[in-house]
A and B are shown apart, each in its own frame.
Chain A
């Protein structure tokens, strides 16, 4: 046998425990690799389409910059805010953590609101042209991720109402929400560069 289960020889080393360490953070990181590839596929399709057109975006499709820039700054700063929450929980300060997470969720909601405002005021819709197709699908897909991120944060806040659920030693859920939020943020930076900044040059 590769292994022996002879109790006399294994009694000292055998593991009777049925628990294993918490690998959820690692699992999330592995999952985010997959998520990055999903956005990677979108970015690749976008860049290929862009490369096939002499004029990009097509004539008459103007990209709005003011609201998205404010939105970008908002989302960027929310990454710092959520990090304060993480720092707080590591100091065992659940109350501050809740405060920072509330602020992050609110900033995310404002970001989504800005996105909706932009959709409503833009001069083109989903079907206008290929650029518009890409624009709405990519920002929409990212918006969906922001929405999921907000739900995660709210989930953390909801669970933290029970005393002792999170502590300096035990805060996997808090960390996971934070990691996910940073991921969404990084994706937005790439998106903003591709869809907004690079269309201006």
Chain B
């Protein structure tokens, strides 16, 4: 707890601070952005395993049509908490809290975030929230889905539901505090020599993400607090028999929770824009287009939420307006995809684990994006809303997209974070298993939904049994795919090959410091002399030895 007792004004500048953190520092209220980043990543990964186990239990149940493995209420509790954990306790904290905190100051040449203690506070809201969520299983677990629509959420397992709400409000607060920190840090703390068009794309993505989190999260908090009042204090905001209205909740909820999708994918887009150029040995194609498309997604993304409510209590004009706004989001997203593909062209692509996951993401996100377009149009959505088609779509985007991106990021920056390389053979095995498992699990779900299987069911029409069985096998492959990864990380962290400062020949600032970086990142702050993706540019000028970066 040494850091917590430091004076308020200059938490990091006391003479005689330690050269490097000890293992127990990672369990304290440490204000170093790198410690906080690792705290987020490790905590989130533990929750990923918990949420994954819930998914395996659900897929086991769904191997047969009858409800014969889990009690249906427990199934719903797993389904609810699987979604909640994967969104609020894995992807969001790992991508924003983990990579965001670790990388943003390093990439912009800062010694820390703008508000280090606020940063630590934001992290330390997460463990109690997670504990609250897990403790809710003592009361049956919330069972109304991660969407928690009233009236179901107001009459089902209400104690667990209240704990669920408090947990979400806690992580939401953490998310808002984090957003404030990122906005101020990126806006104000770039090293003076870095121009805006030299800002790494990951930081652009984090800026867009933080703006979204800042304006959307509080609205979710309001929706959930009103729900909490309905459940516990006898109010009737969402009680139709007492003058309330259930649709208001849906609007408040989706006003946040559609942007939440972008909270989960924009930082991943940022990771993609860092990983691909380094391993393709090429400048990123269309830097400005990628940077501005993040901001475009962020703006348009705030006005598409009703596409989750096309079959709900929404009048025709609303269904049409939001069909069109939803379709528009496809354009900036497409620009990013095309730009990454173009970055591959003419490169010298290193097919290591990080790059394989990035390319895997690219290929699966295309499918997720295209099915998203079909879902965005009201006529087709009316048929497939709340079916396995939707489940297939968002797992392609969130698993094939976000989780693959997180893996790519881990393989890419693990050497920077730990100073050691991950084992490539295990990494490639991990990729192959994950890629097969993902497609085996989620591709057949498209057909299930189109043919008539609703989502969130513990028992279903026996005609869908064969396809479901394939999905279940895929889920087991996915569960198994974690094993080589875990072995790899645990082994390499202690015994892996020493990485050196810049194993990939990266040009962005985080590669200018040692691996792992010292406590304040640099002895002497670097001076930016060229862009973060200027691969091959010196070579073209014929002025430098091409091996300089190695």
Given A2-B529, A18-B12, the answer on whether A35 and B222 have CB atoms closer than 8 Å is no
Contact residue among B12, B176, B198, B502 (Cβ-Cβ distance under 8 Å from A34): B176
* A contacts, CB < 8 Å to B: 1-5, 7, 9-10, 13-16, 18-21, 23-24, 26-27, 30-31, 33-35, 37-38, 40-42, 44-45, 48-49, 52-53, 58, 126-127, 129-130, 133-134, 137
24 cross-chain CB contacts under 8 A: A1-B502, A2-B509, A2-B528, A3-B527, A5-B524, A5-B526, A5-B527, A15-B192, A16-B525, A19-B10, A20-B110, A23-B114, A27-B115, A27-B118, A30-B179, A34-B214, A34-B215, A40-B218, A40-B219, A41-B255, A49-B244, A126-B235, A130-B235, A130-B236
Decide: B13 and A45 in contact? CB cutoff 8 A: no
Residues of chain A with a CB closer than 8 A to B524's CB: 5, 7, 10, 14-16
| Interface hit among B180-188, B395-403, B490-498 | B180-188
Decide: B218 and A30 in contact? CB cutoff 8 A: no
Besides the known contacts A5-B522, A38-B222, 11 further A-B residue pairs in the complex with CB atoms under 8 A apart = A3-B526, A5-B524, A15-B192, A19-B13, A27-B114, A31-B177, A31-B180, A34-B176, A34-B179, A45-B222, A133-B229
| Minimum CB distance partner of B511 in chain A | A1
Given A10-B526, A53-B243, A133-B235, the answer on whether A2 and B219 have CB atoms closer than 8 Å is no
Contact residue among A3, A13, A15 (Cβ-Cβ distance under 8 Å from B512): A3
Residues of chain A with a CB closer than 8 A to B183's CB: 30
| Minimum CB distance partner of A26 in chain B | B184
Decide: A2 and B243 in contact? CB cutoff 8 A: no
Min CB distance B270 to A, Å, is: 16
Decide: A49 and B237 in contact? CB cutoff 8 A: yes
Decide: A3 and B245 in contact? CB cutoff 8 A: no
Residues of chain A with a CB closer than 8 A to B179's CB: 30, 34
| Minimum CB distance partner of A16 in chain B | B524
Given A3-B509, A16-B524, the answer on whether A27 and B181 have CB atoms closer than 8 Å is yes
Interface residues in B208-249 by Cβ distance below 8 A to A read: 214-219, 221-223, 225-226, 229, 233-237, 242-245, 248
Decide: A4 and B218 in contact? CB cutoff 8 A: no
Q: Considering the chains assembled together, what is the distance between the CA atoms of A186 and B525 in angstroms?
A: 43
**Does any Cβ of A come within 8 Å of B82's Cβ?**
no
Decide: A41 and B180 in contact? CB cutoff 8 A: no
| Minimum CB distance partner of B181 in chain A | A27
Q: Considering the chains assembled together, what is the distance between the CA atoms of A16 and B530 in angstroms?
A: 21
Decide: A49 and B245 in contact? CB cutoff 8 A: yes
Contact residue among B114, B252, B528 (Cβ-Cβ distance under 8 Å from A3): B528
Min CB distance B10 to A, Å, is: 6
Residues of chain B with a CB closer than 8 A to A38's CB: 218-219, 221-222
Contact residue among B189, B223, B512 (Cβ-Cβ distance under 8 Å from A2): B512
Given A14-B527, A133-B237, the answer on whether A5 and B219 have CB atoms closer than 8 Å is no
Q: Considering the chains assembled together, what is the distance between the CA atoms of A31 and B526 in angstroms?
A: 31
Interface string of B131-173 (1 = CB under 8 A from A): 0000000000000000000000000000000000000000000
Q: Considering the chains assembled together, what is the distance between the CA atoms of A40 and B216 in angstroms?
A: 11
Min CB distance B300 to A, Å, is: 18
Q: Considering the chains assembled together, what is the distance between the CA atoms of A10 and B512 in angstroms?
A: 13
Residues of chain B with a CB closer than 8 A to A21's CB: 188
* B contacts, CB < 8 Å to A: 10, 12-13, 109-111, 114-115, 118, 176-177, 179-181, 183-184, 187-189, 191-193, 198, 214-219, 221-223, 225-226, 229, 233-237, 242-245, 248, 251-252, 255, 502, 507-509, 511-513, 520, 522, 524-532, 534, 549
Contact residue among B184, B191, B243, B507 (Cβ-Cβ distance under 8 Å from A58): B243
Min CB distance B494 to A, Å, is: 29
Contact residue among B118, B243, B525, B529 (Cβ-Cβ distance under 8 Å from A15): B525
Min CB distance A186 to B, Å, is: 16
Given A3-B512, A19-B10, A34-B179, the answer on whether A14 and B525 have CB atoms closer than 8 Å is yes
Q: Considering the chains assembled together, what is the distance between the CA atoms of A10 and B529 in angstroms?
A: 11
Residues of chain B with a CB closer than 8 A to A41's CB: 218-219, 221-223, 252, 255
Min CB distance B79 to A, Å, is: 27
Number of A-B contacts (CB under 8 A): 164
Decide: A30 and B549 in contact? CB cutoff 8 A: no
Min CB distance B200 to A, Å, is: 8
Min CB distance A70 to B, Å, is: 28
Decide: A18 and B520 in contact? CB cutoff 8 A: yes
Residues of chain B with a CB closer than 8 A to A15's CB: 191-192, 524-525
Name the residue in B13, B252, B522, B524 with the highest tally of chain A Cβ atoms < 10 Å from its Cβ.
Answer: B524
Given A1-B507, A2-B534, the answer on whether A45 and B248 have CB atoms closer than 8 Å is yes
Decide: A4 and B529 in contact? CB cutoff 8 A: yes
Q: Considering the chains assembled together, what is the distance between the CA atoms of A7 and B527 in angstroms?
A: 10
Decide: B245 and A2 in contact? CB cutoff 8 A: no
Q: Considering the chains assembled together, what is the distance between the CA atoms of A44 and B192 in angstroms?
A: 42
Min CB distance A9 to B, Å, is: 7
Contact residue among B12, B13, B217, B527 (Cβ-Cβ distance under 8 Å from A9): B527
Residues of chain B with a CB closer than 8 A to A45's CB: 222-223, 226, 237, 248, 252
Residues of chain A with a CB closer than 8 A to B223's CB: 41, 45
Min CB distance A143 to B, Å, is: 15
Min CB distance A5 to B, Å, is: 5
Decide: A30 and B214 in contact? CB cutoff 8 A: yes
Contact residue among B10, B512, B522 (Cβ-Cβ distance under 8 Å from A1): B512
Q: Considering the chains assembled together, what is the distance between the CA atoms of A5 and B530 in angstroms?
A: 13
Residues of chain A with a CB closer than 8 A to B181's CB: 27
Q: Considering the chains assembled together, what is the distance between the CA atoms of A53 and B236 in angstroms?
A: 14
| Minimum CB distance partner of B111 in chain A | A18
Contact residue among B115, B222, B513, B528 (Cβ-Cβ distance under 8 Å from A24): B115
Q: Considering the chains assembled together, what is the distance between the CA atoms of A137 and B228 in angstroms?
A: 11
Residues of chain A with a CB closer than 8 A to B236's CB: 127, 129-130, 133
Decide: B222 and A42 in contact? CB cutoff 8 A: yes
Min CB distance A45 to B, Å, is: 5
Min CB distance A64 to B, Å, is: 20
Decide: A4 and B180 in contact? CB cutoff 8 A: no
Residues of chain B with a CB closer than 8 A to A40's CB: 218-219
Min CB distance B214 to A, Å, is: 5
| Minimum CB distance partner of B10 in chain A | A19
Decide: B527 and A4 in contact? CB cutoff 8 A: yes
| Minimum CB distance partner of A11 in chain B | B524
Min CB distance B177 to A, Å, is: 8
Q: Considering the chains assembled together, what is the distance between the CA atoms of A163 and B435 in angstroms?
A: 65
| Minimum CB distance partner of B193 in chain A | A13
Residues of chain B with a CB closer than 8 A to A10's CB: 524, 526-527
Name the residue in B109, B179, B215, B235 with the highest tally of chain A Cβ atoms < 10 Å from its Cβ.
Answer: B235
Name the residue in A24, A49, A133, A137 with the highest tally of chain B Cβ atoms < 10 Å from its Cβ.
Answer: A133
Decide: A52 and B245 in contact? CB cutoff 8 A: yes
